[in-house]
Structure 1
Amino acid sequence: MNEATPLLDRLAGLRERVARLVEQRSADDPTATDPMRGLYLPEETIWRLLSVPPVPADPPEPAGRAAEDGPDGLNGSVGPDGSTGPVDRLDHLAQRLRLSELDTGILLIALAPDLDRTFEALYGYLNDDVSRRRATTGLALDLSGVPAHTAAGRARFHASAPLVSLGLLIVEEPERPFLSRSLRVPERVLAHLLGDDTADTVLDGTVRPLPYTGTESATGTGAATDPLVHLLAARLAAGPCTVYLREHREGDGLSCATAALGAAGIGALHLTPAAGEGPQGDQPPGERPPREPVPYAEVLREARLSGRAIVATSLPERPQELIRALSAADVTVVLAGTRPYDPQWCDSGARGGEPLVLDAPRQRAGNLAAWTAALGGSRGTGGAAGGTELGFDLTPVVAAYRLGDEGINRAARAALDLAAFDGTPLSAAHVRLAARQQSASGLEQHSRRIRPDVTWDDLVLPEKPLEQLHELAVRSRNRDRVLGDWRLSAGGGRGRGVLGLFAGGSGTGKTLSAEVVAAELGLDLYVVQLSSIVDKYVGETEKNLERIFTEADRTDAVLLFDEADAVFGKRSEVKDAHDRYANMESAYLLQRLESFDGIALLTTNLRGNIDEAFTRRLDLVIDFPFPDQPQRLALWRHSLKHVPCVDDIDPSVCARDFELAGGSIRSAVVTAAYAAAGRGESVSNADLLAGAQREYRKAGRLVLDELDW
């Protein structure tokens, strides 16, 4: 059997269907036997086409495929005037965009050939050209009863006219005489009028619909509790406007806009024009592929068709083009950025007018209501406050995350996916891991990330520093309430950061304590690499530090400056240019710490090396004392907890005779473990002794050859 046989059989079946269609159409066609058929249109053919009944409407969709109601209510059976039955989308669009009766008629004339193919032949006959099967400007005016020589009629096709400027009609062939230019309705407009609300494919990757929550669900979670959001919602509900939300932290504006639009009952499209600029930055300019321009006209058209607002974030470096392109008196546009608004961004005579400039409220950490709604709603349980239906206390788990409503929803979905992947019920560990994944950080360029894997049980410290570490975690969880709601911030643009200094000798547990605090908060720990900060060129060190602080402000993480003396050291008397520039670095740090919003920890071996001006700005200074004998014994036993040892192991002698800090004790245990592993045996007292003696020799201290066990 020939491999082409199945395909030839299919073509034979197609040929039969074509024959039946030819027979059907030629049954009442007087020109069916005319050899010139298709090259001209006789009058009898036109009258026959005019007698053809209209195209029947599509049958209703099967049950279960009804489109979801959107914020404009177009998919329901209730019209905008309250009447029941199918919605006349053309009439609804004309009312919303304030199109005149003439404009509505022209739009209908232009789209007719795309709905009923008989209009192609009719328009070809009326155009006196069988090849021109679309409406022309002259034909549209004739069918509308408007003389072609009137200025008012011809103005309906100008670039500034409503149909053209709103993107509803395209006047093609500008090289032709005015009256013979073809009219075409974009496919997206026609699809909308037919009930298809799928966004234009040209907007893929640039625009996505923001989740529409409606008025009731938008009040009570997230930023919707802020008074400014309620005022903004009232302004948005009053009519189209342009708003610029100045963000303190990236994401504040999107959270505020989403809450305000939801409270106002308005859907929105999220535009990120600069979202794709990052990856190209690593390529040389000559090798970067040309970036596609943002289709602002299509974005506006999509907003008009769907009756939604536009929310633009991730603004480009020069947002003038974006603001001018989106300036429209009939579309609500909300812009969000961290930079202060520049009046030069907007033309004084722009159609949308000068924007309303507002400071977006800060995203709060530990938004329990939003987390409960996201996790409980996703699981279909409704979610009880405090997470009682989740099987764990949600309050301390999410207390440190400043994600905003959208970030919380993403994290909740990711947490549920992780739990399903593990095949276990949702746990606090799933929520914390998912929340950390939402903080895409650029801190790793100048720091080393540590994913904490320790607990409070791994700390062997006196009672006082342990209490202070717990207090540090409490401050980190409740800073929004104390410094924000209770207005205990000192003012002057000061941030809501938490700053702590860990002072003590080497190996006393400072870095481990920072990791434990990060683990308690469910955050990653970033250890700043001083080699990537300090630069010999004037001003470069400050720039590197600014990058770190800026990234830390927008990231839920704990920042650790290990050996902070190198950066936060005391200022000295100016004797030469080097001293002056060194003092400038310290002055910059003093100013930057005032506005810091994150969590930063500093460690030093000598507390006296830290400038007193830095100390005043710290929330806590925790001293880590050198361990005494009972603490050293506890450290030896803790280090040996997971190590196979002989039955008579006794680290008390090493704890008594070797004054070692916790870090050195761990190193001694590691040395003993390697020695035992090399013999294939368990760790013995002799191994511990050898490890302790090794640490003493490393420190340059006298070692006794024998000990009394």
Structure 2
Amino acid sequence: MNLHDMTAWSERNRDWLSARLGYWRERLRALADDDAHDDACGLPPDDTGDGFRPAAHRLAAAFRLSAFETELLVLAAGVEIDAALGDAVARAQGDAAQRAAGVRFALALELLPHAHWDAISPLAPLRAWSLIDVDTSAGHARAALRIDERVLHAITGVEAFDERLAGIARALDVAPDIACPGIADVIAGALATQPETLIVLADARLDAERVRAGRWLAACALRRAGLRALWLDVAALAGDAREAAGIARRLAREARLSQAGVVVALDGDASAHDATVTRFAATLNAPTIVLGAPSTRTLAESDRPVLRFAVPRMRAVARGDLPVHVLTATRRALHQFHVDPALLDQALRTAAHLGDNDEDGAERTLWHALREAARGGLDALAERIDSGTSLDDLVVPGFVAAQLREIAAHLRHRQTVYDDWGFGRGQSRGLGIAALFAGESGTGKTMAAEAIANAARLDLYRIDLSGVVSKYIGETEKNLARLFDAAEASGAILLFDEADAMFGKRSDVKDSHDRYANIEVAYLLQRIESYRGLAILTTNMRSALDRAFLRRLRFIVQFPFPDARSREQIWQRQIPRDAPSGRIDFAALARLQLTGGSIRSVALHAAFRAADAGRAIDHALLVEAAQIEHAKLERAMSTTHNGSPQ
């Protein structure tokens, strides 16, 4: 239903409800006057002949209400929103001073047609679905009936969400013009023919990529079934059984009021909590999709029929209203980044607004939006490095530059090789890229990682080893699992500085600590091999790395100590164009045995000295800074009589 149709329906629903409440005002007036012709005009007609269905009738169909129960809801709503009707009801009940008491059941039995006593029994829809609140303290006949606030909004046609579900569930729509996987139609058909069917989307290895693909598939299937999606926060189910039952009732009611299905994502660690969540999902009286791998035994405890589906990888998306270049860019971006459906749709709309005249701008906007959306929780687990370094900024030998450009090429063309050409079919390991950057400190290893990340337009995260490795047995693997799962979604490049501290040689087993340390190394090797992105490891001591790990590397790049010609180029690039500079003998400075990192440190030190002295950066200041750097490195630096390096 588009915005115009929704507005038109809302206006007609308001008119219908106003006429209905007006009729009951007159009926109550006639009863008060003892008018024998009080019902001569009759109820306003329901059938308008054009297919219009007021909200009250939609509620009746959704909750299978009788005509009496439906009219009782209308009357209870009228007491809340129509002051005149509320006063008339209070007078008819003989408690004009207690209008807030609501509608008494005795009045409803006398006033409304087709009355039946079991309408407010605990198992009848009005109470079973908490459509009304019933106060029976004064007896069954004088029970006071009040309509629930969420149901009041529904019957008046007001868009709403049960505030008691805030923090427990949230609504999410998928744009109808986004093409979904073919399996979504099968799931939608099952939900349409048997709404009580429990749909389970599971996979042998439900990693971060599959979780997002599963959420996308669930949203698509519900959309195809004409339903919205309600995402359940399973952490909210940590309370007792009574509280969980209340949540289940409100959630199922919200699903019917908003025409939605419920999606429940398991934690995936086969914990007791997962079993509790699965039982909760199995008891929901609403279309339900479980994302995860619940145990067969837990599902067997439910009487609901169960259908299982494997979760495909989310490879591509298509919208008929988008330009071809945006669709092409989307497929490429989704191969790299895994994002939630709502964020993807938002990015698509932004890119589409740029129009056909700015193809590059649309592609950059889409890539940037999905790159940011996919970061998820990785920022909390590692340090993101922002740098403008390019491959052309590196001063390295030609063979090193060629290797770095080849790594960037592998990143750019993975989709073509693995998907389009079929090299990745049937493979789950070895599709990522693992590279080792070896060389002395300051030879450009981290800078090279920054340049590759910028060339591939990907985030670069430096892994803090102290935050990953734990002295407690088993905690290191958990930390690494969280890290790699978050990285899988973001498509980021991982940089493990001083990798020999983590990926060192496995020791002989002498005690339990040695055994668990070796298990940690083995786990690292397995995750590195299965990681679909680029993992870069840097080391100053290549010989210290485990040989089993070296066999799993696709690239090993050795960064040599820069020669004199390279050092001269590095010196020349250290003085920015905007910085004041005097006479500098770069050839003389190049004779100093310093790495690029040390040269950068010398240049910065000289720049601050120049700023403090109010002078330009010249050769003398650079030599003085170089002497400080050599002292820091505990090396001797000989100079000529004029202060130049010798």
For 1:667, give the aligned amino acid. Answer: S
Is the counterpart of residue 637 in structure 1 residue 576 in structure 2? Answer: no
- In the other structure, the counterpart of 2:14 is none
| SS, match of residue 572 in structure 1 | coil
Alignment counterpart, residue 516 of structure 1, candidates 444, 451, 456: 451
| SS, match of residue 251 in structure 1 | helix
TM-score normalised by the chain length of structure 2: 0.77
- In the other structure, the counterpart of 2:595 is 661
Alignment counterpart, residue 250 of structure 2, candidates 293, 298, 302: 298
Instruction: Give CA deviations for 1:256-301 in whole Å, capped at 9, x if unaligned.
Output: 2222233444333344354899xxxxxxxxxxxxx99984433322
For 2:190, give the aligned amino acid. Answer: R
Partner Cα separation in structure 2 for residue 82 and residue 456 of structure 1: 71
- In the other structure, the counterpart of 1:287 is none
**Could you tell me whether the CA contact under 8 Å between 1:503 and 1:621 is conserved in 2?**
yes
Deviation of the 1:613 alpha carbon? 1.5
Instruction: Give CA deviations for 1:83-134 in whole Å, capped at 9, x if unaligned.
Output: 5264233334434444455654665566565577777688678878777762
Partner Cα separation in structure 1 for residue 135 and residue 84 of structure 2: 23
**Could you tell me whether the CA contact under 8 Å between 1:447 and 1:528 is conserved in 2?**
yes
Instruction: Note closer, same or farther for the CA distance 1:468–1:357 as it changes in structure 2 (3 Å cut).
Output: farther
Is the counterpart of residue 358 in structure 1 residue 298 in structure 2? Answer: no
Instruction: Give CA deviations for 1:405-441 in whole Å, capped at 9, x if unaligned.
Output: 3222345678999x9xxxxx96877656544542455
- In the other structure, the counterpart of 1:243 is 199
Instruction: Note closer, same or farther for the CA distance 1:356–1:493 as it changes in structure 2 (3 Å cut).
Output: farther
Alignment counterpart, residue 465 of structure 1, candidates 378, 386, 400: 400
**Could you tell me whether the CA contact under 8 Å between 1:509 and 1:624 is conserved in 2?**
yes
For 1:407, give the aligned amino acid. Answer: L
Deviation of the 1:566 alpha carbon? 0.7
Is the counterpart of residue 403 in structure 1 residue 339 in structure 2? Answer: yes
Partner Cα separation in structure 2 for residue 42 and residue 260 of structure 1: 52
Alignment counterpart, residue 500 of structure 1, candidates 435, 457, 464: 435
Alignment counterpart, residue 45 of structure 1, candidates 18, 30, 33: 33
Is the counterpart of residue 94 in structure 1 residue 63 in structure 2? Answer: no
**Could you tell me whether the CA contact under 8 Å between 1:312 and 1:333 is conserved in 2?**
yes
- In the other structure, the counterpart of 2:187 is 232
Alignment counterpart, residue 561 of structure 2, candidates 594, 611, 626: 626
Instruction: Note closer, same or farther for the CA distance 1:293–1:193 as it changes in structure 2 (3 Å cut).
Output: same
Alignment counterpart, residue 125 of structure 2, candidates 162, 175, 195: 162
Alignment counterpart, residue 310 of structure 1, candidates 243, 262, 265: 262
- In the other structure, the counterpart of 2:287 is 332
Matches within 5 A, 1:397-546: 400-411=336-347, 434-439=369-374, 441-443=376-378, 447-479=382-414, 482-483=417-418, 488-489=423-424, 494=429, 496-546=431-481
- In the other structure, the counterpart of 2:19 is none
**Could you tell me whether the CA contact under 8 Å between 1:41 and 1:125 is conserved in 2?**
no
For 1:331, give the aligned amino acid. Answer: A
Of 297-306 and 42-51, more deviation after overlay is shown by 42-51
Deviation of the 1:500 alpha carbon? 1.8
Instruction: Note closer, same or farther for the CA distance 1:237–1:659 as it changes in structure 2 (3 Å cut).
Output: farther
**Could you tell me whether the CA contact under 8 Å between 1:504 and 1:510 is conserved in 2?**
yes
Is the counterpart of residue 200 in structure 1 residue 162 in structure 2? Answer: yes
Partner Cα separation in structure 2 for residue 480 and residue 515 of structure 1: 22
| SS, match of residue 311 in structure 1 | strand
Instruction: Give CA deviations for 1:343-396 in whole Å, capped at 9, x if unaligned.
Output: 46557245xx154343433344xx6x66xx6xxx9xxxx65333599xxx8888
Matches within 5 A, 1:372-383: none
For 1:243, give the aligned amino acid. Answer: I
Deviation of the 1:234 alpha carbon? 3.6
**Could you tell me whether the CA contact under 8 Å between 1:397 and 1:521 is conserved in 2?**
no
Identity fraction in percent: 33
TM-score normalised by the chain length of structure 1: 0.70
Partner Cα separation in structure 1 for residue 480 and residue 368 of structure 2: 28
Deviation of the 1:639 alpha carbon? 1.6
For 2:605, give the aligned amino acid. Answer: T
Partner Cα separation in structure 2 for residue 701 and residue 154 of structure 1: 98
For 2:309, give the aligned amino acid. Answer: L
List alignment gaps of at least 5 residues for structure 2.
1-25, 355-359
Deviation of the 1:237 alpha carbon? 4.1
- In the other structure, the counterpart of 1:84 is 50
Deviation of the 1:564 alpha carbon? 0.2
Of 482-491 and 698-707, more deviation after overlay is shown by 482-491
Is the counterpart of residue 686 in structure 1 residue 620 in structure 2? Answer: yes
Deviation of the 1:509 alpha carbon? 0.8
For 1:218, give the aligned amino acid. Answer: I
Deviation of the 1:559 alpha carbon? 1.8
For 1:47, give the aligned amino acid. Answer: D
Partner Cα separation in structure 2 for residue 90 and residue 585 of structure 1: 61
Instruction: Note closer, same or farther for the CA distance 1:428–1:142 as it changes in structure 2 (3 Å cut).
Output: closer
- In the other structure, the counterpart of 1:183 is 145
For 1:673, give the aligned amino acid. Answer: A
Is the counterpart of residue 136 in structure 1 residue 105 in structure 2? Answer: yes
For 1:358, give the aligned amino acid. Answer: F
Partner Cα separation in structure 1 for residue 541 and residue 509 of structure 2: 23
**Could you tell me whether the CA contact under 8 Å between 2:430 and 2:529 is conserved in 1?**
yes
Partner Cα separation in structure 2 for residue 328 and residue 387 of structure 1: 43
| SS, match of residue 622 in structure 1 | strand
Q: How many residues align?
A: 596
Instruction: Note closer, same or farther for the CA distance 1:458–1:276 as it changes in structure 2 (3 Å cut).
Output: farther
**Could you tell me whether the CA contact under 8 Å between 2:419 and 2:425 is conserved in 1?**
no
**Could you tell me whether the CA contact under 8 Å between 1:275 and 1:314 is conserved in 2?**
no
| SS, match of residue 291 in structure 2 | strand
Alignment counterpart, residue 673 of structure 1, candidates 600, 607, 622: 607
| SS, match of residue 262 in structure 2 | strand
Instruction: Give CA deviations for 1:501-529 in whole Å, capped at 9, x if unaligned.
Output: 11222211111111222223333322222
Instruction: Give CA deviations for 1:282-326 in whole Å, capped at 9, x if unaligned.
Output: xxxxxxxxx999844333222212322223458798356655555
| SS, match of residue 659 in structure 1 | coil
Partner Cα separation in structure 2 for residue 542 and residue 388 of structure 1: 39
